[in-house]
Chains A and B, each alone.
Chain A
């Protein structure tokens, strides 16, 4: 892929006395457990390979001990990989000499830490300036950049406070501001929100997503929290015992787990907060408003349905008719326009299922899914919602509307 910002190829980390020997054993097909039993060495990361596209939020998720923190530290070589390559913009980080690496750390990659890692003896402003300071940037420019960066994370007015005077959420904002001040392409976030309480965490997630809309950095986000991964990740890599188990979009991971481990991992996920109307809608049966009632009845009879949406020539939704009204109309000679119901429940394709429950429960007609121009894209019936929540992927894929 040409748009890959970061390519990770076979990156392996073995901790112990003879790491290279450990790599050899891995290549011979031994497992992490066997190597630990035989040599006492720990395989931190086992041949991880994936690509991260420019401008995406790539989440690496796994339980503690799965090697995710080790993996992310090999991106800026806080930990040196035992084997493999990490290419950022085509440059191999692993082969870099100390001064080249320092240059990359100063200008291309910044990191946000789980426990914030703010310097307690420096003010908020001076913490934010740190990266620019070691880079040797001009004093005035340092200050401007740092202030701008603090403004971005909403910490104006706290420049002269010390980190210990701030709450956890605010401290992590400083951590984020410090990382952004260098204007890096790549942001490594190691469990950046894990130490925050749930409400603050959600706020920070939203703010990160908002910031990302403006900045379009390439973000590698480490987390052990599946909900967090699903919320913010454009793509997710799942790790277990040092290996990447599956890489994919949140939907792919949820709907097509690569193996039992992933399946067990995701089985408790609240699907209604991940799946959207677009996932469960099906192709609508429609009729143009200038057609006759008889045609409408025929369509309903053929499709074995009891209601029909009415659209104009541009597929814009104008109303709906029911079979009952239609057969009455046939007797009394009314047209579709006369019997059409205008009060219709609509949602957009990206509405979460969780936000549709009430409509689904009370609506007498299937719910119409429309785009911004009010064009009918599909309909959602009660059964499809229930099937999707049950994790019935056959049902889902069968009805996917393109």
Chain B
């Protein structure tokens, strides 16, 4: 083929350089902010004695869900403690929680916005597809450039990868509110905000929570990748096991991630249902 290669990669490099150049103070601010938040969560979680923390988690699970799930939570977390992955679990939990909080803070408003505006939805949909299908590894590269190494770039990459379900399902949940309820809200003279707050969001909550649940799972799936850019936690343990070909350690750390995943899943799945009661 005689057509010259389009220098797409060069363009992206130039663009990233430009961003790095011009927006450095901004990125530093974000790094400090997110870093501070994560450290705060880690500090809280580690200052509570593990036994008490396990009881607290089991109690919360019992409150939002069935006693069997609470029992699993208690046994699972005890096993993690016993295997010696407690600190890693806390780091990973902090990473996941931070990603999810950021996903909700950014994702829900975007979801609401695109539910109200078809043009916005048509623009956002391919962007969301892009965010989810681009191999998550790729996000790590600019994340390192902008945010250095450690927890923060890992969180940023997780957020980019994990946020789309929250946006999508917020949009879907609001759009799925039955037409006659919207008509009723309009017929009684609701403003757009009243309609949103009193009718659409309450009815969309279970769907939005399903999106949050997916975001939790996706950001958990990013913990090993986050370890590649230096984020501590269970992902780092798995990564170390891979590089040193230690099957046993790899299995233990992997099992800890699975347990954490199930605990978080049961928890975030049921919290929406609980609210509905």
Contacts and interface: CB of A to CB of B under 8 A. Distances in A.
Interface of A: 73, 76, 78, 101-107, 109-111, 113-115, 117-121, 130-131, 133-135, 178, 182, 188
A131 B202 contact: no
Given A130-B198, A133-B198, A134-B198, A117 B181 contact: yes
A110 B198 contact: no
Q: Which 5 A-B pairs have the closest CB atoms?
A: A106-B189, A105-B189, A117-B184, A117-B180, A131-B188
B14 interface: no
A102 B185 CA distance: 11
A280 B188 CA distance: 46
Contact of B184 (A101, A111, A133, A182): A111
A220 to B, nearest CB: 13
5 contacts: A76-B187, A78-B183, A111-B188, A119-B199, A121-B276
Interface in B177-197: 178, 180-181, 183-191, 194
A161 to B, nearest CB: 14
A114 B183 CA distance: 12
A263 B83 CA distance: 86
B194 A113 contact: no
B188 A106 contact: yes
Given A113-B180, A117-B181, A78 B203 contact: no
A115 B182 CA distance: 13
Contacts of B180: 113-115, 117
A49 B206 CA distance: 46
A113 to B, nearest CB: 5
A275 to B, nearest CB: 37
Contact of A110 (B178, B185, B187, B199): B187
B186 A105 contact: yes
A130 B188 contact: yes
A130 B183 CA distance: 13
A105 B194 CA distance: 14
A113 B188 CA distance: 12
Contact of A102 (B181, B183, B191, B198): B191
B198 A103 contact: no
A133 to B, nearest CB: 7
Nearest to A79: B183
B202 A121 contact: yes
A134 B183 contact: no
Given A134-B194, A134-B198, A119 B187 contact: no
Given A121-B203, A134-B191, 9 more contacts: A102-B191, A105-B188, A111-B183, A117-B183, A121-B276, A130-B184, A134-B189, A134-B198, A135-B189
Contacts of A134: 188-191, 194, 198
Contact of B188 (A110, A120, A121): A110
A117 B187 CA distance: 11
Contacts of B202: 121
A178 B199 CA distance: 15
Contact of A113 (B183, B190, B198, B199): B183
A182 B276 contact: no
A111 B194 CA distance: 18
Contact of A111 (B187, B190, B191): B187
A106 B188 CA distance: 5
Contacts of B178: 117
A199 B183 CA distance: 28
Contacts of A73: 183
A102 B189 contact: yes
Nearest to B194: A134
A43 B114 CA distance: 31
Contacts of A182: 188
Contacts of B183: 73, 78, 111, 113, 117
A130 B185 CA distance: 8
Contacts of B185: 130
Contacts of A131: 188-189
Contacts of A109: 187
Contact of B189 (A103, A114, A118): A103
Most buried by B among A78, A101, A119, A133: A119
A78 to B, nearest CB: 5
Nearest to A116: B180
A109 B186 CA distance: 12
Contacts of B188: 105-106, 110-111, 130-131, 134, 178, 182
B47 to A, nearest CB: 38
Contact of B203 (A105, A120, A188): A120
A119 B191 contact: no
A59 to B, nearest CB: 20
Contacts of A130: 184-185, 188, 198
B187 A105 contact: yes
A136 to B, nearest CB: 10
B36 to A, nearest CB: 37
A119 B190 contact: no
